[in-house]
A and B are shown apart, each in its own frame.
Chain A
Amino acid sequence: MNNPIQIALIDDHQMFREGLKALLNGFDDCQVVFELSNGAKLTEELATRQVDIICMDLDMPVMNGFQTLEKLSLSGIDAKVIFISQNNEPSMIARLMELGARGYLLKDSSAEMLHSAIQSVYQNGYFFNDLVSGSLLQKMAKSSAINPTYKNDELSSREIEVLKMICDELTSAEIADKMSLSIKTIENHRSNLMSKTGAKNLAGLVVYAVKNRLYNVR
């Protein structure tokens, strides 16, 4: 790969950062550009050094993951944040995804899973694993707060087909290939889906699809 995926690490445990950095730099397509012990200086760093992915802990002194995510959003920075935490509370994971996180991993995840999460977020914008999907579904099952905002018949059959494939974690290129359409057309369908459902991100789309029984979790 010509340009490795540029990564920032944010975690208050230096030993964990060092280990993670060594691990990520060991992958041909990854490069850790900088590391911080909390989110307080992240926006300043991002002003001078661009990154593709931010791998961040949730619980940190000074500025935690929530606060950092919000600060990035307020600053208008569209950062792709993957949380790496020891926190396995489904409700917390679902919250973070709703607030704009792109993926969530536990600290004891395998190197392979971390690598595929980074690749998936870099290429597709999101990484859904069993932990994230399960958390979102649990939240939906418990909550009545997520109500459909439109009728299913407002979605075309093509859009529903695309939506189902998004839920199956297919990339735009893979969907285009399956449907014999161009990637640009698929991107248009994806954009229409977001607009029609009112979803802010792919997590919202998946939630919508399950909630409206357009997609069944196997």
Chain B
Amino acid sequence: MLDSLRELTGGNAERMQLYANMFLEEISSYLPKMKEAFTDGRMNDLKNIVHTCKSLLQTMGFDVAYKQAQKLELMIIDKAYADELNDGYYLFIKQLNDCMQEVKDNLNELG
């Protein structure tokens, strides 16, 4: 993650911090929205938020979560079976939380 941020910002600590904070703020705001959309069965809304997360994950170099976001987006588009969708959704949420933790763990190093 830090390597990706360094590459993105040319090693500028302030910009790295900006992107890290942006990631944390954005993903934290999307998590409850995703939960609500998933619980209410608003799959199109869920797909839009997952799509939004993709660029942030890619920017931060979280490749595994990025690929899961792509997969989940396709599952929703293809109207996958409920079980598959359920697994895909919860795996993605777990990965997002893991990514956030990794960013938090690295914030001191960035500062």
Q: What is the CA–CA distance of A89 and B29 in the complex, to the nearest angstrom? A: 11
Given A59-B51, A89-B49, A95-B22; A67-B29 close (CB under 8 Å): no
| Interface pair A66/B59, CB less than 8 Å apart | yes
Contact of A182 with B by CB under 8 A: no
Proximity bits, B36-75, A CB within 8 Å = 1, else 0:
0000000000001101101110110000000000000000
Kindly identify which residue among A70, A74, A92 contacts B52, using a CB–CB cutoff of 8 Å: A92
Which residues 35-79 in A have Cβ within 8 Å of B in the complex?
A: 58-59, 64-67, 70-71, 74
Proximity bits, A72-108, B CB within 8 Å = 1, else 0:
0010000000000011110110010000000000000
| Interface pair A74/B9, CB less than 8 Å apart | yes
Q: Which residue of B has the minimal Cβ distance to A142?
A: B29
| A interface, over-half SS | helix
Q: What is the CA–CA distance of A95 and B27 in the complex, to the nearest angstrom? A: 13
| B interface, over-half SS | helix
Residues of B within 8 A of A58 (CB): 55
Contact of B111 with A by CB under 8 A: no
Given A64-B59, A65-B55; A95-B15 close (CB under 8 Å): no
Kindly identify which residue among B15, B48, B52, B58 contacts A67, using a CB–CB cutoff of 8 Å: B58
Given A59-B54, A74-B9; A92-B59 close (CB under 8 Å): no
Q: What is the CA–CA distance of A87 and B25 in the complex, to the nearest angstrom? A: 17
A203 to chain B, nearest CB (A): 16
Q: What is the CA–CA distance of A67 and B55 in the complex, to the nearest angstrom? A: 9
Residues of A within 8 A of B54 (CB): 59, 64
Proximity bits, B3-42, A CB within 8 Å = 1, else 0:
0000011100001000100100110011000000000000
Q: Which residue of B has the minimal Cβ distance to A87?
A: B52
Given A64-B59, A74-B9; A91-B51 close (CB under 8 Å): no
| Interface pair A64/B55, CB less than 8 Å apart | yes
Q: What is the CA–CA distance of A152 and B45 in the complex, to the nearest angstrom? A: 42
| Interface pair A70/B22, CB less than 8 Å apart | no
| Interface pair B9/A87, CB less than 8 Å apart | no
Given A70-B15, A91-B26; A59-B9 close (CB under 8 Å): no
Kindly identify which residue among A65, A67, A86, A95 contacts B51, using a CB–CB cutoff of 8 Å: A86
Residues of A within 8 A of B19 (CB): 66
Residues of chain A at the chain B interface (Cβ within 8 Å) = 58-59, 64-67, 70-71, 74, 86-89, 91-92, 95
User: Can you add 20 more A-B contacts, CB < 8 Å, to A64-B58, A95-B22?
Assistant: A58-B55, A59-B55, A59-B58, A64-B55, A65-B55, A66-B56, A67-B58, A70-B8, A70-B9, A71-B8, A86-B51, A87-B48, A87-B52, A87-B55, A89-B30, A89-B52, A91-B25, A91-B26, A92-B26, A92-B55
List 9 interface pairs A-B (beta carbons < 8 Å), by A numbering.
A64-B55, A65-B55, A66-B19, A66-B59, A67-B58, A86-B48, A86-B51, A87-B52, A88-B48
